[in-house]
Structure 1
């Protein structure tokens, strides 16, 4: 028994007719009806509400559960791939979480080392299976004027954790003992207040699906 290209529905063709069992064919056609009904009835109030880590083939349609004037009837997949939500700033990500970049490059990225995302998007590397750290930045400087939102690393070059300036000020003459502070705790360095955060490591693992709206309701 052969199958269709998109939904992989089982079909009997002239070439397979002699070999297909009648009973099994009827059963398979019943399964096809279930697949078709599910395909046609998929609906969501928003693409952002979709669960992650689900594959969507090109041409798949999701209907709008809450259509209103100015919205769309639904969305159609124009690039097959895995569903993932957009990367967000200042968010704790766990190992296995999936994201797509805020500026879509088609990539699907998996968190392989948990941590907290930065205030600005990282550079999402496009090489498949290549790991990269979320935050890259400058080493701490003594007696330096830091502004809120500045990010630094210890001068040792260790980038397992990064430090976010929460209160602007001048750093101390001597470098803080970074390792003595717990993750996600604040501490004073001269007149600067830093907060410790763990640096995420991402890896590109595939392609994210792309949905496009259709049927605008006037």
Structure 2
């Protein structure tokens, strides 16, 4: 019967073990060794699940920089949210200001100009349309103002040319990036993205300041 090592709990097969069991034990050992092996990157990870104490060594160390980064909070790593960016279902992001949570895209589309207020309740969802208002006639709009059509079509429209809207609502474009003329205003069309709270976000902090 196999025993284990004291530090990594690696299994030490016995001569009496069956071949299948020995191979399985060795495979588990290799995985444990790989999990604790040194990793190198130019920046903290933005994907995958991570646990506290995992460490990434900086593969481009320089004076004034850091030796690497260490995980101080277990969870999923993801890139920060960015505006007017295309996201697909299953993409993950974290807010630009850390709130401890990660979010999964559950409706493919584009982020808006302003970052949404992300919920912190488990499984809660938010539509990425912060700052949007319903279109109005004969109204002055500025660049990057966002509107919805008066009849919902699953899209938002970003003002790319400032001006005054027309007296009558335009026929809205329904393809991403296609423009709609409206009085002296020009709008660009984007499908709405939606996010769901998806658990803890991994937190990596730098360590080892290089003098």
TM-score by length of 2: 0.86
Query: Residue 150 in 1 paired to residue 145 in 2?
Result: yes
**2:125 and 2:194 in contact (8 A); partners too:** yes
**2:180 and 2:186 in contact (8 A); partners too:** yes
Moved more, 127-136 or 180-189: 180-189
Write the deviation string for residues 51-71 of structure 1: whole angstroms up to 9, x where unpaired.
52x111101111111100011
Moved more, 191-200 or 135-144: 135-144
Query: Residue 132 in 1 paired to residue 119 in 2?
Result: no
Write the deviation string for residues 26-71 of structure 1: whole angstroms up to 9, x where unpaired.
8747854663355232111111xx352x111101111111100011
Q: Which residue of 1 aligns with 2:39?
A: 42
Write the deviation string for residues 172-193 of structure 1: whole angstroms up to 9, x where unpaired.
0011122x54332012100000
Alignment of structure 1 residues 113-132 onto 2, 5 Å: 113-132=107-126
Query: Residue 85 in 1 paired to residue 79 in 2?
Result: yes
* Equivalent-residue separation in structure 2 for 1:87 and 1:64 (angstroms): 24
Gaps of 5+ in 2: none
* Equivalent-residue separation in structure 2 for 1:198 and 1:56 (angstroms): 32
Query: Residue 211 in 1 paired to residue 204 in 2?
Result: yes
TM-score by length of 1: 0.83
Match for residue 100 of structure 2 among 106, 115, 118:
106
RMSD: 2.6
Q: 1:63 to 1:153 in 2, by over 3 A?
A: same
**2:155 and 2:174 in contact (8 A); partners too:** no
Gaps of 5+ in 1: 13-19
Write the deviation string for residues 135-184 of structure 1: whole angstroms up to 9, x where unpaired.
0421111100100010011123x261001000000000011122x54332
Q: 1:3 to 1:207 in 2, by over 3 A?
A: farther
How many pairs align? 203
